[in-house]
A and B are shown apart, each in its own frame.
Chain A
Amino acid sequence: MAVMANTAATTPLAAPTKARRVSRPWGQWSLRAVALIYLSVMLLLPLAAVLNDGLSGGLSGLWADITRPAAWAALRLSLWTAAVMTVINTIMGVLTAYVLVRYKFPGRSFLNAIIDIPFAIPTLVAGLMLVVLYGPQTAVGGFLKQQFGWQIIFAPPGIILALLFVSFPFVVRTVQPVLMEIDTDQEDAAATLGASGWRTFRRVLFPAIAPAVISGALLSFARALGEFGSIIVVAGNFPLRSQTAAVYVLSQIESDNQRAASAVSIVLLTLAFSLVFVVDFIQRRQEHDA
């Protein structure tokens, strides 16, 4: 009886939905078509244009464009500064996330709020701040140059600092929610089993947050490869010395060498795409695990 009553109750509800679907099938398809056309025009078309342009000299032409000394140096500089930044950012980001989640201290919510600042302020301004702080004429910059012979601005250290600044939130914000979900009982259990703090982190906590750490790291690396605004301010535009790939693309466009610009862009695009796919894969697996 109960089952019968149930069916009777649901049927009148289900009927109108079905009727509407049958009467206007094109409503559903038109919505999908709009989304697909929009995506093509906005994303795929420009991509195709760049690919077409970069490959207009054939594969060998592309290779020649990429291996030109200035281009090659720019790509290398971009890759190694981004890599160094990613290592530092990953370690410090995990640490910051841990402190924010596990400890209570005055100013915690303030600290939590300012982590997103790099997302909010223009990257040009971020670069400017670093120049004002570390420039050769300033107190801090001058001191570092005189005492240790370290040049920050217009040199790779400046690039790394700028990259650290603009990509700081990535690791913190991916690791933080995962950490929050992990019960403190896990750490307590490890403590009663005699594990030191480091061992607990390495064996218990890290395996649980590793996927989040890796995706955070890859995202910040991808972000760093394309960073332009802060770097042009901090590093200037000196070919072979402080010119990153993104800045190189700009200089090639300005000197009317569009094909060289496209070639380097294709390299950047390929890297970015592969990273996004890897992150997507990790996150899917993480969801599957949970």
Chain B
Amino acid sequence: MSIVLQDLVKHIGAHTVVDHVSLEVHDGELLVLLGPSGSGKSTILRIIAGLIPADQGRVWLHGRDVTDLSPQQRNTGFVFQNYSLFRHMTVADNIEFGLASRHVPKAQRTAKREELLALVGLAGLGGRYPKQLSGGQQQRVAVARALAFEPSVLLLDEPFGALDVKIRAQLRQALKEIQQRIRVTTILVTHDQEEAFELADRIGVIDRGKLLEVGPPTALYRSPQQEFVATFLGGANLLAGQAKAGRVNLGSMELSNAASYTTVDPEGRLEVLFRPEDLMLATQREELTIPVLGQGVIEEVLFLGTLQRLRLRLQPLPDTWHLPPEFGETGVPIQIARIPRSDGHLDFQVGQQVWVGIHNFHILPRIPMRLAIGLDEHTNAEVLLNYSALLARITNGPLTVIAVAEDRADAAQLSKYARDNLMAHTGEVNYHIRAGRSPEELVRDLKQGAYDLLVLAEPRKIAPRAETNLRELVRRSPLPVLIVKGEHASIRRILFCTAGGEPGKRDIIFGGRIARRAGAATTLLYVDAATVRAARPWITNHLEEGALTLRNQGIQVGVKERHGVIIEEILQEIQQGEHDLVVIGRHLETAQTRFAQTDLASEILQRAECPVLIVTGDLNRLG
């Protein structure tokens, strides 16, 4: 192994830039770290070179632990995004710099420099200064400089980022050839998937500091294990499929050869991925010799040279929907890539009705909703744990109980209590024990772990301290928060409050996840606070779109309008409708709501008799 990274962690301020990254790169391999900008990939490269210290974890280069060594001692060749050539030195001096630092005799330096100039195709340009070279030539000088002292590994940070498309393609080829000739173990960082596919022996996909998946380009493209990887690499159509008795159904069609899949969803739901090129179009159903997905209308045709890209919308399919769920649209959006025939025969136009067939697909395991349970000394633990077990049964996801107390022993005690209480629960349960101030420690755990929903409970008895803790948690939680109030043995009726005007898209999509899994009936409530009644078509419109979003996923929806004081009307509706969960969105915090503490969410939280789901923050995955 040339490069081994073990559990690297780097925080910058409150941000986790590198999040427990472990990776092994084989001798002579070219590994591409691919991720959106700001995903932490460059930081990993700098940690390997020793330019930034890691907060945690170790780095091995060729079996040597270099974690505590300076960059000078690590012997890594680094190519910077802007090349960072030394402006005041000639190309020759730039290339020889690493050798001169190592006191290599002049004659040897000259020989090596000439060899490298020839290797990168710049023979004879040693006497020039960097500013006399083109961008592409500068990049090659940077590569030569990084290779001159025969480094143990080569690290390239977006080396083609500053070049135009044509030169980029040429240089990619050149770099691949050089790398194969000298067999130096290489990590290249980029956000360009085309570049990754062309260069990589293996690709590692990074998102928000986490290394999600590593594998050969074709494997990652054809059979990814995670939704982000599937959608980040190339175009992707993701639909919710249904597994039944060993077969997989997608709408009305049954997928053949779908034997090997693992689904963890209690309803047998899974995600079916098909690439734009996995689809075939025909004007008549009979023309398709492959399984037919459905009929739709072409919405857009893009000409891209070799390829033609089409966007179309299928008529609604039974028991399936697009992932993530779209807000307020009917039908299933699909992207298709095809090679147009040069004689123009069989070209498709916008608005045309076509049939779509699938000749290839891949099944992704559906990740269940992961619950974090926040437990401290003030919490009504019994209520919280009973409800959490109910939620976990509905969503079939893992539970993590985070027990927090000022004193570690007290936290352990809380954790033990939870363990005793959850004895009967059959799903996966993890226990975290944390000593410290409750909101702080809990939020820290939430930011580190992978959870989708935080579950809290109202305090056991009225204590001002507990009240402020709860409010602070709701405010600071990066996840949606569900606050349990009272004993509830089931979730049958869910109320979505849209009082402020528009129903938040996030509230509806996230609440929908729970509603669908619980098989609950939902009501979208709009409260009109205006004294003068008037038709507001945009509100009706928005409510209809919200209802449609839920209905698309097979959820029963009702829409209701009430008039009067918002909070009073919501409370009355909860009582009259016998709702056992209220979903409310939380708008971005303003200084006003923060100090006045009179926003609708806190008011409902205070006065409602049933559990409240406050959808806030950044949602990782929807649907």
- Which residues of A approach B to under 8 Å, CB–CB? 183, 185-186, 188-196, 199, 203-204, 207-208
Residue of B with least CB distance to A187: B84
CB-based contact A208/B71 at 8 Å: no
Q: Which residues of A contact B71 (CB under 8 A)?
A: 188, 191-192
A103 to chain B, nearest CB (A): 16
B166 in contact (CB, < 8 A): no
- The CA-CA distance from A127 to B159 in the complex, in Å, is 56
CB-based contact B149/A191 at 8 Å: no
CB-based contact B82/A193 at 8 Å: no
User: 24 A–B contact pairs at CB < 8 A?
Assistant: A183-B82, A185-B80, A185-B84, A186-B84, A186-B86, A188-B46, A188-B84, A189-B78, A189-B84, A190-B97, A191-B70, A192-B51, A192-B76, A192-B146, A193-B97, A194-B72, A194-B75, A194-B98, A194-B101, A194-B102, A195-B97, A195-B101, A196-B101, A207-B86
B35 in contact (CB, < 8 A): no
CB-based contact A196/B72 at 8 Å: yes
Q: Which residues of B contact A186 (CB under 8 A)?
A: 84, 86
- The CA-CA distance from A183 to B51 in the complex, in Å, is 14
CB-based contact A189/B80 at 8 Å: yes
B133 to chain A, nearest CB (A): 16
- The CA-CA distance from A207 to B97 in the complex, in Å, is 15
Q: Which residues of A contact B86 (CB under 8 A)?
A: 186, 189-190, 203-204, 207
CB-based contact B82/A192 at 8 Å: no
CB-based contact A188/B51 at 8 Å: yes
Q: Which residues of B contact A193 (CB under 8 A)?
A: 97-98, 101, 145-146, 149
- The CA-CA distance from A126 to B360 in the complex, in Å, is 84
CB-based contact B145/A191 at 8 Å: no
CB-based contact A208/B49 at 8 Å: no
A184 to chain B, nearest CB (A): 9
CB-based contact A199/B82 at 8 Å: no
A147 to chain B, nearest CB (A): 42
Most buried by B among A183, A192, A203, A204: A192
Q: How large is the interface on B (under 10, 10 to 19, 20 to 34, 35 or more residues)?
A: 20 to 34
CB-based contact B72/A195 at 8 Å: yes
B13 to chain A, nearest CB (A): 13
CB-based contact A192/B49 at 8 Å: yes
**Per-residue interface assignment for chain B, residues 61 to 77, with 1 indicating a CB less than 8 Å from any chain A CB and 0 otherwise:** 00000000011101111
| Chain B 67-107 residues near chain A, CB threshold 8 A | 70-72, 74-78, 80, 82, 84, 86-89, 97-98, 101-102
Most buried by B among A185, A194, A196, A204: A194
Would A188 and B88 be within 8 Å (CB), given that A193-B98, A194-B72 are in contact? no
Contact of A191 among B72, B77, B82, B146 (CB under 8 A): B72
Q: Which residues of B contact A208 (CB under 8 A)?
A: 87-88
Residue of A with least CB distance to B85: A189
- The CA-CA distance from A188 to B82 in the complex, in Å, is 12
A218 to chain B, nearest CB (A): 21
Q: Which residues of A contact B75 (CB under 8 A)?
A: 194
Residue of B with least CB distance to A193: B98
CB-based contact B80/A188 at 8 Å: yes
Residue of A with least CB distance to B76: A192
Would A203 and B97 be within 8 Å (CB), given that A185-B84, A191-B51, A196-B72 are in contact? yes
B197 to chain A, nearest CB (A): 28
